[in-house]
Amino acid sequence: AAVANNDWAIGQLVDRVSHSPYWAKTAIFIIEDDAQDGPDHVDARRTVALVASPFARRGIIDSTLYTTSS
C-alpha cells in the first residue's frame, strides 16, 4: 500500500507541476531510496532514476554510472 501511495503522490506532483506556468523551467528527479540513514538493502552504487521534464527526451536509456550519493 505504501508503494502505491508513493506512486500516486508522484503522479499527482508531476500532473500538477506539468500543468502549471512553472513547467517550462522545471525538472523533477525521482530516485529509489528508503527512510534509513545511509545505504542498506538498496545498493548505494546502483539505483533507478526517473526524470520528468520538458528537457527530457522520450525513450532514452542513459547507462552512465551515477550513485545515490553523487
- Measured CA to CA, the distance from residue 66 to residue 45 in angstroms comes to 7
Query: In the predicted model, is pLDDT for residue 22 greater than 90?
Result: yes
pLDDT at 34: 60
Query: In the predicted model, is pLDDT for residue 24 greater than 80?
Result: yes
pTM, rounded to two decimals? 0.69
Residue 60 per-residue DSSP state? -
Which residues have CB under 8 Å from 3's CB, separation 6+? none
Q: How many residues does the chain have?
A: 70
pLDDT at 27: 96
Query: In the predicted model, is pLDDT for residue 15 greater than 60?
Result: yes
Encode pLDDT of 28-70 as tens digits: 998 876 655 666 555 656 667 789 999 998 888 888 877 666 6
